[in-house]
Structure 1
Amino acid sequence: MELTEAMTTTGTCRRFDPREVPPEVLHGAFDVARFGPQGGNRQAVRWLVVREAQLKERLQELYLRHWEPYYARIQEGQVRVGGGDRMLVAADEFAHSLAQVPVLVVICARTEDLQVTDSDTDRVSVVGGASIYPLVQNLCLALRDREVATAMTTLVCREEPAVRELLGIPDEYLTAGMLAVGYPARNFPTKLKRLPVEEVVFSDRFGKGLFGTGRAT
């Protein structure tokens, strides 16, 4: 698959076909994903592939603990989302059928190998993810190349002690998210809907569009 096509059609899949993903497909995707950029080449990321039914059911339970109140806040207008009602319904159905997704990949990272240079600032710390999420996107693209869909979730990180105990994750590793993996129940999108370049790329000053008027919100 041509790279640009993969990049513009790798969205969040919320409806999966029950077919199993063959081990060789997973191996090939992980083999490509591991070359993602990471600070100091410390290679902090470890992938925990979960296919056992009981484990997936427990992960769904942990996910729903946080999804259901979050979904209620969305419905009450307390949380802003970019999608419409159809997207929200699909997201709720996804949450309640997480255990039926063929593969759940829990993303782990060794804490000491993350260079978190913003940990002492007075804002949300995000820098540690620079050595994690490029590899996750590599995995999503590699799976898309193999006609396998993905959905990145992070709510299970709120239950890290329980997830660590459930899956035997050592204390020195944190959880950075969970990737739902499987063949899509519907066709991949022909092109994802995103804001135009003119509204998100600025020149020298925030809000001054490089290719147009720009937008500062």
Structure 2
Amino acid sequence: MNDTEEVDVELGEAMRTQHACRYYREDPVPDEVLRQAVERARFAPNGGNRGAARFVFVRDPELRRQLGEWYLPLWEEVAAATRANKPAITTASGQHKTTELGFRDPAKTLADSDHFAQRFGSHPVIVVVCVDLAATHPTDTELDRLSIVGGASVYPMAQNLCLALRDQGVATTFTTLLVAREPEVKQLLGIPEHLSTACHIVAGYPARPFPTRLHRPEVRELAYADRYGAAL
């Protein structure tokens, strides 16, 4: 199969098998594949149809290497806390960041994630997903909790991008760890001051077949009817 040939995966299958890929081939992802993914992703719902999201596709080896150097220690902190059975990392400001894993085989997941993190800077494409926060309309800023609503103007498009790549045989991994190094990433890549980084997506042709089934919480654990806890 030619790398630019579409796989034409049925939508339900794509949603059930879009895993966090940890092993990639070295093959480059053609510009046309990336362009086609953005062409589809742009139709995602977003606040006011303002198109607040932007994508920077990083392929330059030296730029990827630097991103990898910044990513690895962020992952190692999480991995160390997880292996030490710490349920969360407490930051200097008192915030708690969970480290718990919901996987059937946490040891294997951590080993695969170590492999991914150690090679982060050599994966074929690192997509920096940016957002113009002034173009979002968060309605939860006055609540006594972390604001999350603004993400609705960027993450659906990021997920659409992953699905559009999956349809073309390209695997992805969605990560937010590197956002902690936003100032350095923005300076490295010339990202305008008014944009913020929302996440990073690694993309490339998978070195192993796509999974046929992913382990996720069952519907009964996720959805309720009328009132929380009432079975759907």
Q: Same fold, TM exceeding 0.5?
A: yes
Secondary structure, counterpart of 2:126 in structure 1: strand
Determine the structure 2 residue equivalent to 1:215. none
Determine the structure 2 residue equivalent to 1:145. 167
Query: 1:88 deviation in Å?
Result: 0.9
Query: 1:121 deviation in Å?
Result: 1.6
Q: Which amino acid aligns with 1:170?
A: P
Please tell me whether residue 95 in structure 1 is matched to residue 103 in structure 2: no
- Give me the TM-score of the superposition, normalised by structure 2: 0.88
Determine the structure 2 residue equivalent to 1:51. 59
Matched-pair contact (CA < 8 Å) for 2:124–2:203: yes
Aligned pairs for 1:203-214 within 5 A: 203-210=225-232
Query: 1:180 deviation in Å?
Result: 0.1
Please tell me whether residue 17 in structure 1 is matched to residue 63 in structure 2: no
Please tell me whether residue 30 in structure 1 is matched to residue 38 in structure 2: yes
Determine the structure 2 residue equivalent to 1:134. 156
1:32-88 Cα distance to aligned partner (Å, 9 max, x none): 111100000000111001001111111111112321111110110113111221111
Secondary structure, counterpart of 1:190 in structure 2: coil
Please tell me whether residue 71 in structure 1 is matched to residue 93 in structure 2: no
| Cα distance between partner residues in 2 of 1:197 and 1:135 | 24
State the number of aligned residues. 210
Determine the structure 1 residue equivalent to 2:96. none
| Cα distance between partner residues in 2 of 1:131 and 1:67 | 26
Aligned pairs for 1:108-127 within 5 A: 108-127=130-149
| Cα distance between partner residues in 2 of 1:43 and 1:124 | 23
Query: 1:171 deviation in Å?
Result: 0.9
Give the share of equivalent positions with the same residue, in percent. Answer: 46
Secondary structure, counterpart of 1:209 in structure 2: coil
Please tell me whether residue 197 in structure 1 is matched to residue 219 in structure 2: yes
Query: 1:120 deviation in Å?
Result: 2.5
Secondary structure, counterpart of 1:92 in structure 2: helix
Please tell me whether residue 80 in structure 1 is matched to residue 88 in structure 2: no
1:14-37 Cα distance to aligned partner (Å, 9 max, x none): 111111111111111111111100
| Cα distance between partner residues in 2 of 1:25 and 1:104 | 14
Q: Which amino acid aligns with 2:80?
A: A
| Cα distance between partner residues in 1 of 2:142 and 2:113 | 34
Per mean C-alpha deviation after superposition, the further-off stretch among 114-123 and 98-107 is 114-123
| Cα distance between partner residues in 2 of 1:138 and 1:131 | 12
| Cα distance between partner residues in 1 of 2:10 and 2:73 | 39
Matched-pair contact (CA < 8 Å) for 2:68–2:122: no
Determine the structure 1 residue equivalent to 2:181. 159
- Give me the TM-score of the superposition, normalised by structure 1: 0.94
Q: 1:64 to 1:123 in 2, by over 3 A?
A: same
Q: Which amino acid aligns with 1:68?
A: E
> 4+ residue stretches of structure 1 with deviation over 6 A?
none
| Cα distance between partner residues in 2 of 1:115 and 1:92 | 37
Secondary structure, counterpart of 2:229 in structure 1: strand
Matched-pair contact (CA < 8 Å) for 2:72–2:120: no
> How large is the RMSD of aligned CA atoms in angstroms?
0.9
**Structure 2 unaligned regions, length at least 5:** 1-8, 87-98
Determine the structure 2 residue equivalent to 1:177. 199
Query: 1:142 deviation in Å?
Result: 0.5
Query: 1:119 deviation in Å?
Result: 2.0
